[in-house]
Amino acid sequence: MGIKVLVVDDSPTLRGQIARTLSDAYFDVVEASNGVDAFERLAKHPDIEFVVCDVDMPRMNGIEFLEKVNAGGSRVPILMLTTEGRPQIVQRARALGAKGWIVKPFKPDLLVAAIKKILGKA
C-alpha cells in the first residue's frame, strides 16, 4: 500500500503488535514512544499520512500531542488507540480533530479497516 503510518505508544510490546498488524497490511510504519518522540518523527518524516496514538503516555500524552499537532497546522489524520474510554477524554480528542477512537485490546482487522475508512481507501 505504501502509506506511511506513525504508531505512538509507550508500551514497546503494544507498539510492536500495532506495527506488525499494520506492516502485515502493507503500511509503512514509523514508531514513537510518546508524544514528544512522535512530534519529532512527524518533523523528520513529512510523508507520514496517518497517526495511531495512545492517550496515556509519559512526557507528552496523546491529548497534548493532538494539541501540538493542531497548533502546528498539520492535517494528518489521527486515530486514538487506548485503554482510556472516559467520555470527556473522547470528546476532548474529537474536538482536537481525532478522526477515530478504538479501545484496547484491539482487533487487528478492525484497526486496519478503520484506518482505510478514514483515509478513504476502504
Distance of CA 65 to the CA centre of its chain: 10
Contacting residues for 101 by C-beta, under 8 A, at least 6 apart: 79, 80, 82, 90, 93, 94
* pLDDT above 60 for 1: no
**Three-state DSSP class for residue 3:** coil
Q: Can you give the pLDDT at residue 40?
A: 95
Question: What is the rounded average pLDDT for all residues in the chain?
Answer: 93
Interval 23-42: pLDDT, tens: 999 999 999 999 999 999 99
Mean pLDDT of 83-110: 91
Q: What is the pLDDT of residues 44-96, one digit of tens each?
A: 999 999 999 999 999 999 999 999 998 888 889 999 998 878 889 999 999 99
State the pLDDT at residue 70. Answer: 87
- The pTM of this model reads 0.95
Q: Is the pLDDT of residue 113 over 90?
A: yes
42/25 Cα distance (integer angstroms): 21
